[in-house]
């Protein structure tokens, strides 16, 4: 079951009114979109995107009652300008980015996002992408692997893990998440903790496959440029690399006089929500307003 993270905080931060034009850049299971649509009727319109066609399909069913007031599109938010142009929209009252993977994607065993299930290495949010986790793990040079695990996973054993991966490739391809996970466990043997030692490397590979940080930088920049005066942008991120991009972009655009930062510090989920929905524990929500 996918529960929308920090729903009340998102809705109040978006500052919605009937008639508003809103972009949900990451529709996922449609939870935030549904509540946005309830708030902007009558007369409002929601454009909702997802890079994952299966997320769009699920949400079409969930949001069908809103008919022409809700337009769902399978697109990467880094291309939101093209989408908005083709929809004839030149200004947004609010824009939401709830980034990362959804629990639908994690639970979909064949997508290879999860450490918990053994599946072919894939991790593409959009199956049309040319490079999957299999290519990264089996084709990248040791130095490139080491760099990306260090940079996107902030994993201090990056070099050792990359060496183990490349050595293991000598005996045949690494085809599954299970193979990769046990290889990482061998590489970092002795390391203890609550979190699986392969978590950071899996995160790094996923970020690389989907160019998540590049897409966020581009998408956020474009989303902000579409906001009308007093329009709000709300971003929920799930790890420090993403949050840093959001924080720095808001700061830079505040200096140039384009944005007013509403959240000096990011909002986080309440203890109650964190108990019900463990995914919300690492969520950080930042809000800014177009001046």
Ligand X SMILES: C[S@@+](CC[C@H](N)C(=O)[O-])C[C@H]1O[C@@H](n2cnc3c(N)ncnc32)[C@H](O)[C@@H]1O
Q: Is 48 in the site for ligand X (CB under 6 A)?
A: no
- Least separation in angstroms between residue 265's CB and ligand X is 22
Q: 25: closest CA among 242, 220, 261, 209?
A: 220
Show the binding pattern over residues 72-101: x = contacts ligand X (CB under 6 A), - = does not.
Answer: ----xxx-------------------xxxx
**Do 32 and 21 contact (CB within 8 A), yes or no?**
no
- What is the strand order of the sheet 92-98 is part of? 70-74, 45-50, 21-24, 92-98, 227-237, 284-290, 259-261
Residue 67 tokens, joined:
């008919």
Q: Residue with CB nearest ligand X?
A: 28
One residue of 16, 30, 133, 137 binding ligand X per CB under 6 A:
30
Q: 126: closest CA among 91, 92, 78?
A: 78
Q: Is 152 in the site for ligand X (CB under 6 A)?
A: no
Report CA torsion sign: 126, 127, 132, 133. Answer: positive
Residue 271 tokens, joined:
């203890």
Name the residue nearer to ligand X (CB basis): 26 or 132.
Answer: 26
Rounded Cα gap, residues 86 and 89, in angstroms: 8
**Number of residues forming the site for ligand X (CB under 6 A):** 23
Q: Is 224 in the site for ligand X (CB under 6 A)?
A: no
Q: Is 26 in the site for ligand X (CB under 6 A)?
A: yes
Name the residue nearer to ligand X (CB basis): 3 or 252.
Answer: 3
Name the residue nearer to ligand X (CB basis): 76 or 132.
Answer: 76
Residues that bind ligand X (CB under 6 A): 2, 4, 26, 28-32, 49-52, 55, 76-78, 98-102, 125, 215
């Amino acid at each position: 079951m996918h529960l929308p993270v920090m729903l009340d905080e998102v809705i109040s931060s978006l500052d919605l009114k009937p008639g508003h034009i809103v972009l949900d850049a990451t529709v996922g299971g449609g939870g935030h979109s549904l509540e946005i649509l309830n708030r902007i009727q009558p007369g409002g319109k929601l454009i909702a995107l997802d890079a994952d066609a299966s997320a769009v399909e699920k949400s079409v069913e969930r949001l069908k009652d809103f008919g022409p007031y809700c337009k769902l599109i399978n697109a990467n938010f880094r291309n939101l300008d093209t989408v908005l142009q083709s929809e004839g929209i030149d200004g947004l009252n609010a824009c939401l980015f709830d980034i990362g993977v959804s629990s639908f994607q994690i639970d979909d065993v064949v997508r290879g996002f999860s450490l918990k299930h053994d599946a072919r290495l894939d991790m593409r949010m959009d199956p049309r992408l040319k490079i999957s986790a299999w290519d990264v793990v089996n084709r990248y040079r040791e130095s490139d692997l080491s760099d990306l695990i260090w940079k996107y996973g902030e994993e201090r054993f990056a070099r050792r893990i990359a060496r183990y991966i490349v050595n293991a490739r000598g005996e045949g391809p690494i085809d599954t998440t299970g193979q990769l996970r046990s290889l990482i466990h061998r590489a970092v043997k002795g390391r203890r903790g609550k979190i699986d030692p392969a978590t950071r490397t899996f995160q790094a590979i996923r970020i690389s496959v989907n160019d998540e940080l590049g897409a966020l930088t581009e998408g956020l920049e474009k989303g902000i440029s579409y906001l009308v005066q007093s329009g709000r942008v709300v971003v929920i991120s799930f790890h420090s690399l993403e949050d840093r991009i959001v924080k720095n972009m808001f700061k830079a655009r505040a200096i140039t006089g384009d944005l007013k930062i509403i959240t000096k510090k990011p909002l986080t989920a309440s203890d109650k929500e964190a108990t019900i929905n463990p995914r919300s524990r690492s969520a950080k929500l930042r809000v800014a307003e177009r001046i």
